[in-house]
């Protein structure tokens, strides 16, 4: 009877997934099969979890259809012993950069272990009572989006404690874009840990295979025992609309697609939409008054940005909310013209890249990942020449990347 009930539950869940993905996953051809994430394909990984003690790295993007993966697997009898939570927390209600405490999830009763607080990696004790660790977080394909750093630390913990990792892969909405300078490792930081470009063109499954294959884990002699459930009916050039926002400040598809180009403004003395309901789609400063007519005023928004740069001050600058993101897709390039334009327009150029002016601001070197970009912009170097300086590293990366691709 139990087996029959489990079979029926799987059937119902699969029908719900297919229905949900048909309406939310974007594919170029309306007649094409719907994109199915790794999590959607229960038949591929439920047998791998049978009789095992399971931990899950999860946040609000960890879903099957419209239901959280944790809730779905619990109903199917999977023994989930704990959940690891990343930046913003398991339920996604913590602001960017705010430390998250351990707790018990009120909905499921499962212990939540924060990896964005007192520690950023599971301890030996955390790993002792599990057999397999599932990683299922939506990524956006950019070096300074910290999920891949959390993934590498989980892989390290699995190697150190001889545990298996299962990655339920998801599409990268910016997978078409492989661009930007390769991180100079002397600028390694919490927002850049690996020698990859700003927009790396990988899903998390592909990145994990690369980290394993290129010896980027702490123990360079060993590899993580890794199983990846690939996305079905997917390739890197497919547009994909995320059904759930991946983090509080990436709250629209426009923000997600502009993010590879606009997040670099965290290395400038400009507000990039934090403190508004449309972050990463507007750029401005009070000091650009009279130069730009568009304006907005950042405020404190709980759960998004509570102390944004230029809080309660009217900022003037660029409104990219209606920018045609297909231009980025056609060019297959990060847009660096906006940062050049705003530097040239700024009346106090000595402030533009001054990280001392904002305690929340990264230096442009940490953000971009190389040392010469600041001087190139200040010296009026052309966009073409700046791009040329990213070679041969970018081309070498693209060639290396081919070894790890799961999708056309």
Q: Check residues 403 and 87 and name the one with the higher pLDDT.
A: 403
Helix axes 393-401, 204-213, angle to 10 degrees: 100
Contact present, 313 and 279 (Cβ < 8 Å) = no
Q: In whole angstroms, give the CA distance from residue 253 to residue 240.
A: 9
380 pLDDT higher than 80: yes
Which CATH code, of 3.40.630.30, 3.40.50.12170, 3.40.50.300, 3.40.50.720, is assigned to 35-229? 3.40.50.12170
Cα angle at 143 between 237 and 182, to 5 degrees?
A: 95
Among 135, 156, 153, 260, smallest CA distance to 204 is for 135
Contact present, 362 and 267 (Cβ < 8 Å) = yes
The H or E element that residue 133 is part of is: strand 132-135
**346: left (phi > 0), else alpha (psi -120 to 50), else beta?**
beta
Tell me the average pLDDT across 202-212.
Answer: 98
Q: Check residues 116 and 359 and name the one with the higher pLDDT.
A: 116
Tell me the average pLDDT across 89-105.
Answer: 60
Quote the pLDDT of residue 297: 98
Judged by average pLDDT, the poorest of 80-84, 108-112, 230-234, 272-276 is 108-112
Write out the residue limits of the CATH 3.40.50.12170 domain(s) in the chain. 35-229
Q: What is the mean pLDDT of the chain?
A: 89
Positive or negative torsion for Cα 81, 87, 89, 92: negative
DSSP 54: E
> Locate tokens 């300078």: which residue?
181
| Three-class DSSP category at 43 | helix
At 295-354, the pLDDT tens digits run: 999 999 998 898 999 999 999 999 999 999 999 999 999 999 999 999 999 999 999 998
Number of helices and strands in the chain (H, E): 14, 14
At 20-68, the pLDDT tens digits run: 443 344 444 556 789 999 999 999 999 999 999 999 999 999 999 999 9
At 125-181, the pLDDT tens digits run: 999 999 999 999 999 999 999 899 999 999 999 999 999 999 999 999 999 999 999
């Amino acid at each position: 009877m139990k087996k029959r009930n489990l079979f029926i539950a799987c059937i119902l869940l699969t029908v719900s997934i297919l229905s949900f993905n048909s309406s939310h996953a974007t594919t170029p051809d309306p007649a094409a099969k719907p994109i199915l994430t790794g999590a959607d394909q229960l038949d591929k990984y439920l047998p791998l979890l049978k009789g095992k003690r399971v931990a899950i790295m999860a946040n609000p993007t960890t879903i099957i259809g419209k239901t959280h993966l944790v809730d779905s697997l619990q109903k199917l009898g999977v023994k989930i012993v704990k959940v690891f939570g990343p930046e913003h927390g398991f339920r996604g209600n913590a602001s960017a950069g705010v430390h998250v405490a351990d707790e018990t999830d009120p909905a499921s009763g499962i212990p939540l272990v924060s990896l964005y607080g007192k520690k950023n990696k599971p301890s030996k004790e955390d790993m002792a009572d599990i057999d397999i660790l599932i990683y299922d977080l939506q990524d956006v394909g950019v070096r300074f989006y910290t999920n891949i750093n959390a993934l590498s630390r989980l892989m390290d913990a699995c190697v150190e404690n001889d545990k298996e990792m299962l990655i339920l892969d998801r599409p990268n909405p910016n997978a078409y874009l492989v661009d930007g300078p390769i991180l100079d490792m002397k600028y390694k930081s919490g927002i850049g840990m690996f020698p990859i470009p700003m927009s790396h063109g990988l899903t998390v499954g592909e990145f994990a295979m690369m980290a394993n294959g290129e010896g980027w884990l702490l123990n360079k002699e060993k590899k993580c025992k890794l199983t990846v459930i690939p996305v079905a009916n997917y390739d890197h050039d497919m547009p994909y609309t995320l059904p759930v926002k991946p983090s509080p400040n990436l709250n629209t598809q426009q923000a997600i697609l502009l993010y590879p180009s606009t997040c670099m403004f965290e290395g400038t003395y400009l507000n990039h939409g934090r403190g508004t309901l449309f972050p990463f789609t507007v750029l401005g400063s009070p000091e650009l008054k009279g130069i730009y007519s568009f304006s907005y005023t950042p405020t404190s928004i709980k759960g998004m940005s509570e102390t944004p740069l230029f809080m309660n001050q009217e900022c003037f600058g660029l409104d990219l909310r209606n920018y045609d993101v297909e231009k980025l897709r056609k060019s297959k390039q990060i847009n660096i013209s906006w940062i050049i334009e705003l530097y040239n327009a700024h009346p106090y150029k000595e402030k533009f890249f001054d990280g001392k002016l904002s305690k929340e601001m990264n230096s442009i070197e940490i953000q971009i990942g190389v040392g010469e970009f600041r001087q190139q912009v200040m010296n009026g170097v052309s966009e073409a020449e700046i791009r040329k300086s990213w070679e041969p590293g970018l081309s070498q990366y693209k060639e290396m990347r081919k070894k790890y691709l799961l999708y056309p």
